[in-house]
Structure 1
Amino acid sequence: MNKTVVVSGLMLFSLFFGAGNLIFPPMLGYTAGQHLWIAMLGFVVTGILLPLLTVIITAYYDEGVEGAGNKVHPVFGLIFAIVIYLSIGALYGIPRAANVAYEIGVKSIFPAAGYWLLIVFSLLFFILVYIIALNPSKMAATLGKVLTPVLLFVIALLSLFTIMHPERALQPAHGKYIHAPFVSGLLEGYFTMDLVAALAFSVVVVNSFKYAGITDKKQIVISIFKAGIISSSLLLLIYLSLAYMGGTSSAHAFKDGTDILTYQSLRNFGSLGNLLFAAIVLLACLTTCIGLVNACAEFFHKIYGKISYQRWALIFSVMGFCFTTLGLETILSLAVPLLIFIYPVSIVLVLLSCVQVIIKGRSKYLFILPAAVTLLFSVLQIIAEQVGWFHGFYNMLPLSSLGLAWLVPFMIFSFIGFIMDRVIPASRVAA
């Protein structure tokens, strides 16, 4: 395994490992208790394997996010890609990560600070993001050789101290993890929304190999598979450590994973605990924002080349700064409907692309029908979230309580689309 693969694998890990990935596993472990390992198995399926599959499939087709949507229709593909990059970029992903870095990594150290500290922090944060993202050919080296090892060292330090000196044994599960630990873990990994990020990050990783002089498509796919294994192995190790950290935490009134990590940092390192935890959060959010700015700038430069990559990187850094100053609560309230709309169809397009690799022949309706019905049910969920009387009707749909009302219609219409592609003559489709 050559140096480029290892560095790219470390870079991919750092891109995926943001604030959400840091705080989900500890709370899962705390709630799942003795069912921790079953719950983590579900979490791994949607939080690691599905994003890994997305990176490999996107690299295999070498078409990026737009290519996945083009299988439905070229216009849909372009609109879908723009919405994806805006949602994971300036409108949600970038400002969310920056805000979490501020709320957990800075504000926790200076609790009396006012709004101006957010302004100053955001300005410095995005200047650093822009400087590193400015040269994409060197980004893999910056993240893979410098920031990722530091991030891994800090997380490993906290994890090892906790594992070697657990506060208590795993306790009985409570809440949703009592009767359905695997499904609950599955949904927890689903809500990380790493699959959407993977659609964009795959392009970043592909470009890192191209910058290294690898141009053969087959070799790139093989290299990305190896880099993905490195990234996934690190994510698995970190997730299990963080979950165990939560599972062995004493019975305090923890409201989320942030509380657990702060508590364990203070328990193991005393007054230095806040600084350690702040360093973890800042590094995790910084590496994610760098990757998102790079991915967004690469995409928009591709579709509108009159503006240089460097100028697009500046645009997204400035937009990230502006949206960050709105505050985390405002960003989350504005972004939730958008994410409900795009995430299910993103999963559908990735899964169908995997099916297309296995089966041969035409796949026109295999993509159009499931994508259309999934978008319909996503719209219904958004309406149900906003309109009280419709909420009761929506809850009658299978799996709606889990936010997966689209799943059964997707499977049904995928089968119908598969049959139609083999029954309807190609000449009629072309006509």
Structure 2
Amino acid sequence: MSKDLKNILITGMALFSTFFGAGNLIFPPTLGYMAGDKWGYIGLGFLITCIGLPLFGIMSVALSGGKTEDLTSKISPTFGKILCSIIMLSIGPLFAVPRTGATTFELGVLPLFPNANSIVVSIIFFSITYILAVNESSVVDRIGAILTPFLLITLGIIIVKGILFPIGTPVNTNIEGAFSKGFTEGYQTMDALGSIILAQMFIGDLFVKGYKDRKTQINIIMKAGIVSSVCLGIVYLGLLYIGGTASGIADQDFTRTTILVFISQRLLGNSSKIIFGGAIAAACLTTSVGLTATTGNYFNKLLENKISYKTIVLLACVTSAIMSNYGVESIVKLAIPILQIIYPVVIVLIVLSMFSKYIVNKGIYSGAVYGAMIVSLINSLNSAGITYVFSDAIKMLPFYEGGFSWILPAIVGGIIGGIFFNKDKSK
């Protein structure tokens, strides 16, 4: 095997492991269940958000210079720090990490112990998270090296059996806007947000391996991304399909976690409570430790060591433990307003950076980002029940019903920014 091919495969599997969060598994079956016979349409939107955007996010950082700051500083250094801090809090102690604890309780503990107390479970779960994260133990890597293949094998059995011996037939669920629903639901994976933070780790790894030319780095990342995307696509599409097969037989009151429990029990029997639930719970723990450690390192560096790494990790674990007791469904709902604001901003940054070779006027970046952000902020307030004078005007924008009303303001903002904020008129 050539050196390049070997590193492409290694990087591809590293990308896959990074974006293959156990907490993400609750979304595809639910989307398939909601869409029924339109599971393919809803799946397309979901795959673009949770596979396509993260890959382009890493490539955009590579194109910008190799560091997260190189991407976000196109607006301003202060803007970059604020955006990255919000992203770290989102993929850390506010939403993603608490969701791992809640998923562990609902998928790994509750099916076996119906009377279990979520507070007790969250204290145990995040105490272990703290111990492993604060010591930056290699135990987590070792556990992950065993658990990820085991979880993949279990999922593979469920998917293959679900395709060969479906539990039902996908039915017409009368869902509207399947594609846009899948696209916006993909926000909840937060993979695109995490990609611009974690990109410098992958690019730095390639640099250490001898790939110092930016063009070569991008080439390796792109090919590794294809490897990762194929693996993720197989898992997600399989889960979407078997979710669709449950659309005609499952209870309409099922939640994101209970529909996955229902499917696994129908396909694997009651033993899945132990096998599947245990694998997901343990995998959630490794995700929790990894994200908590990343949060600690990020804010420790941002605050120039004024608050120690251990203190930040402790605060993150306490916050996560409290948030996890709200349950998966509530955490998802709480995340919606924040994700509605920052996801369009990140998407605009990623798209423009993919064409950074041709965009030398930074005013375009600022205008497009702020144009998208203003509309997204109003949409977020609307979804929270807070309306303003401009609320009705926003509803008249193109693609509003699909959740993409920020596209036109981003384009117009980019044009205005390019015209009025171009310091060097020759460009």
TM tier relative to shorter chain: 0.7 to 0.9
- The aligned residue for residue 269 of structure 1 is 268
Cα shift at 1:306: 4.2
Cα shift at 1:48: 1.2
**1:29 touches 1:247 (CA, 8 Å); kept in 2?**
yes
TM-score by length of 1: 0.84
Q: The residue matched to 1:350 in structure 2 has which SS?
A: helix
Report the residue type matching 1:10 in the other structure.
M
1:59 lines up with 2:57 in the alignment: no
> Equivalent of 1:320, from 316, 321, 345?
316
**2:36 touches 2:244 (CA, 8 Å); kept in 1?**
yes
Q: What are the ranges of 5 or more consecutive residues in structure 1 without an aligned counterpart?
A: none
> How far apart are the structure 2 equivalents of 1:110 and 1:211?
48
> Equivalent of 1:124, from 119, 125, 128?
128
1:37 lines up with 2:48 in the alignment: no
- The aligned residue for residue 237 of structure 2 is 240
RMSD across aligned positions (CA): 3.2
> How far apart are the structure 1 equivalents of 2:145 and 2:8?
12
- The aligned residue for residue 371 of structure 2 is 373
- The aligned residue for residue 407 of structure 2 is 407
Report the residue type matching 2:257 in the other structure.
T
> How far apart are the structure 2 equivalents of 1:427 and 1:408?
25
> Equivalent of 2:20, from 10, 13, 17?
17
**Structure-to-structure mapping, 1:18-417, within 5 angstroms:** 18-114=21-117, 115-130=119-134, 133-134=136-137, 142=142, 145-176=145-176, 180-210=177-207, 212=209, 214-249=211-246, 250-254=248-252, 255-300=254-299, 302-304=301-303, 306=305, 312=309, 314-326=310-322, 327-329=325-327, 335-357=335-357, 359-360=358-359, 362-390=360-388, 393=392, 396-398=395-397, 399-417=399-417
Distance 1:331 1:269, change over 3 A: closer
Distance 1:352 1:102, change over 3 A: same
Q: The residue matched to 1:45 in structure 2 has which SS?
A: helix
Cα shift at 1:366: 0.6
Distance 1:106 1:203, change over 3 A: farther
TM-score by length of 2: 0.84
> How far apart are the structure 1 equivalents of 2:321 and 2:369?
35
Q: The residue matched to 1:167 in structure 2 has which SS?
A: coil
> How far apart are the structure 2 equivalents of 1:291 and 1:203?
16
**1:201 touches 1:292 (CA, 8 Å); kept in 2?**
no
> How far apart are the structure 1 equivalents of 2:122 and 2:225?
35
Report the residue type matching 1:64 in the other structure.
K
> How far apart are the structure 2 equivalents of 1:9 and 1:287?
19
> How far apart are the structure 1 equivalents of 2:191 and 2:393?
26
> How far apart are the structure 1 equivalents of 2:152 and 2:258?
20
Cα shift at 1:240: 0.9
Cα shift at 1:239: 0.7
Report the residue type matching 1:324 in the other structure.
S
> How far apart are the structure 1 equivalents of 2:226 and 2:311?
33
**1:41 touches 1:182 (CA, 8 Å); kept in 2?**
yes
**1:69 touches 1:77 (CA, 8 Å); kept in 2?**
yes
> How far apart are the structure 2 equivalents of 1:144 and 1:118?
20
Report the residue type matching 2:276 in the other structure.
F
**1:293 touches 1:316 (CA, 8 Å); kept in 2?**
no
Cα shift at 1:386: 4.4
> How far apart are the structure 2 equivalents of 1:349 and 1:13?
23
**2:59 touches 2:354 (CA, 8 Å); kept in 1?**
no
Cα shift at 1:419: 5.1
> How far apart are the structure 2 equivalents of 1:121 and 1:55?
31
> How far apart are the structure 1 equivalents of 2:158 and 2:300?
40
**2:36 touches 2:172 (CA, 8 Å); kept in 1?**
yes
> How far apart are the structure 2 equivalents of 1:337 and 1:31?
22
Distance 1:355 1:192, change over 3 A: same
> How far apart are the structure 2 equivalents of 1:166 and 1:385?
37
Q: What are the ranges of 5 or more consecutive residues in structure 2 without an aligned counterpart?
A: none
Cα-to-partner distance string for 1:179-226 (whole Å, 9 max, x where unaligned): x43333333334433211211222332344455565554443333223
Cα shift at 1:94: 1.9
Cα shift at 1:406: 1.9
Cα-to-partner distance string for 1:346-386 (whole Å, 9 max, x where unaligned): 111111111223x25x2221111112222222332343344
**1:201 touches 1:291 (CA, 8 Å); kept in 2?**
no
**1:370 touches 1:410 (CA, 8 Å); kept in 2?**
yes
**1:105 touches 1:278 (CA, 8 Å); kept in 2?**
yes
Distance 1:69 1:397, change over 3 A: farther
Cα shift at 1:394: 6.2
> How far apart are the structure 2 equivalents of 1:373 and 1:42?
23
Distance 1:267 1:162, change over 3 A: same
**1:7 touches 1:144 (CA, 8 Å); kept in 2?**
no
> How far apart are the structure 2 equivalents of 1:146 and 1:8?
18
> How far apart are the structure 2 equivalents of 1:183 and 1:337?
17
Report the residue type matching 1:325 in the other structure.
A
> How far apart are the structure 1 equivalents of 2:104 and 2:68?
27
Cα shift at 1:332: 5.3
